[in-house]
Structure 1
Amino acid sequence: MEQVTENLIRDLQHHQPAACQWLLKTYGPAVYRMIQRIVVCREDAEEVYQDVFVKALRGIEGFNRSQSSFATWLKSIAYHESLNFVRGKRPGIISMDDGCWGIDEMGEPEDALQNEQTIRQLEKALDRLPPHEQAVVSMFYYDNMSLADIAFVTGSNTSTVGSQLSRIRKKLYRMIKKAEV
């Protein structure tokens, strides 16, 4: 894949249409999923998606393989464009489906109901987080990104991201416990 990526980058620098199509086909779905978790409205997410790839194509000369992988570089652009859009419009919301948090339904109806309630409480708590915190949670738990990749995307260092995740988890726990009272 690395050789393909190097060839892709060279072709993108030379404005090859086939390279642009391959870029969208290969990286587009992951980039769009990241955007959509921050920018909820489909039409707005599509607008940001286009902006991300225009910015990436214009800035391809600035890509530095020693700083990050190409996918991480694209996600960094998507992250910043999404946050800038949300800051200009309205607070963002992460829409998580039931399976992404690893909560398995139990065989008993009471357990399934409890899991469903827990998921709803978690989603409500996530909705109340600032967009930046929503994005960090999404990248770590949903995209399975490493702390180092999240640090690159957010412009932080790895220990800061680890601390942020710890604080966010505690904040979510407090929000859920407060809602149960």
Structure 2
Amino acid sequence: MTDRQTQLIDALTGTAAGNRGSLQTVYEMTSAKVFGTILRIVRRREVAEDVLQDVYVKVWRRAGRFDPSKGSPITWLCTIARNSALNDVRRNGRQQELAEEEFPDVADTKILAADDWLCAEQDSAALADCLEELRADHRRTIKLAFFEGLSHSELAERVNVPLGTLKSWIRRGLAGLKGCLGG
């Protein structure tokens, strides 16, 4: 475990105890990555900013549920962000695509591959390896669903397969990932 991960776990523990300074630390350490996760799904900066605020309200309320034995803190935070963003898309519909020039305004300090924004750095290589072991159709649907934030309906339409088939591919792919990652 890295020093940064330990610091983040400590900040989440403090947040669970009601320490606002700890929540500020969590925000400062993770908001750029979490914002990038949200923006990739909702595709509009102003919407992403609203969802980001909602995510940290959820973190404030749910920090006591974080269990470091079940995963890294950034994975937990990005899962909350992804689910919040997808809920917003389901409520309000998908917004039009962002122009390429809008992406440099995101305040992350390093360029991240798609795997990195979902998982802590030490997990991303293992995830990439395990993704490569999946059948091509399973791998593609999982990447589109999780890294591009497409709903099952949007995804079934994009890959031109029945919804049941798509759900089966995702379920089998996730089971394969779980087995490969030792979960």
TM-score normalised by the chain length of structure 2: 0.55
| Kept after mapping to 2: 8 A contact 1:38/1:94 | no
Question: Counterparts of 2:79 and 2:140 in 1: how far apart (Å)?
Answer: 22
Where in structure 1 are there 5+ consecutive unaligned residues? 101-137, 151-156, 176-181
Q: Select which of 111, 114, 117 maps to 1:139.
A: 114
Question: Counterparts of 2:27 and 2:125 in 1: how far apart (Å)?
Answer: 26
- Counterparts in 2 of 1:56-95, with a 5 A limit? 56-92=59-95, 95=98
**Letter aligned with residue 164 of structure 1:** H
Q: Highest Rg: 1 or 2?
A: 1
SS at match of 1:164: helix
Root-mean-square deviation (CA, aligned residues, Å) is 3.7
SS at match of 1:68: coil
- Counterparts in 2 of 1:1-181, with a 5 A limit? 1=3, 2-92=5-95, 95=98, 97=100, 139-140=114-115, 143=117, 145=119, 146=124, 163-167=137-141
Question: Counterparts of 2:127 and 2:62 in 1: how far apart (Å)?
Answer: 19
| Kept after mapping to 2: 8 A contact 1:37/1:93 | no
Q: How far 1:82 moved relative to its partner?
A: 0.3
Is the deviation greater in 70-79 or in 57-66? 57-66
Question: Counterparts of 2:135 and 2:26 in 1: how far apart (Å)?
Answer: 28
Q: How far 1:34 moved relative to its partner?
A: 0.9
| Kept after mapping to 1: 8 A contact 2:9/2:68 | no
Q: How far 1:91 moved relative to its partner?
A: 1.9
TM-score normalised by the chain length of structure 1: 0.56
**Letter aligned with residue 139 of structure 1:** A
SS at match of 1:143: helix
SS at match of 1:59: helix
Question: Counterparts of 1:31 and 1:60 in 2: how far apart (Å)?
Answer: 16
**Letter aligned with residue 86 of structure 1:** V
Q: 1:165 to 1:147 in 2, by over 3 A?
A: farther
**Letter aligned with residue 14 of structure 2:** D
Matched residues, number: 127
Q: Deviations over 1:29-60 (max 9, x none)?
A: 10001111111222211110011111111111
Q: Deviations over 1:140-174 (max 9, x none)?
A: 3x737538769xxxxxx9777975333578x9xx9
| Kept after mapping to 1: 8 A contact 2:15/2:63 | yes
Question: Counterparts of 1:56 and 1:15 in 2: how far apart (Å)?
Answer: 11
Identity of aligned residues (%): 24
Question: Counterparts of 1:93 and 1:162 in 2: how far apart (Å)?
Answer: 28
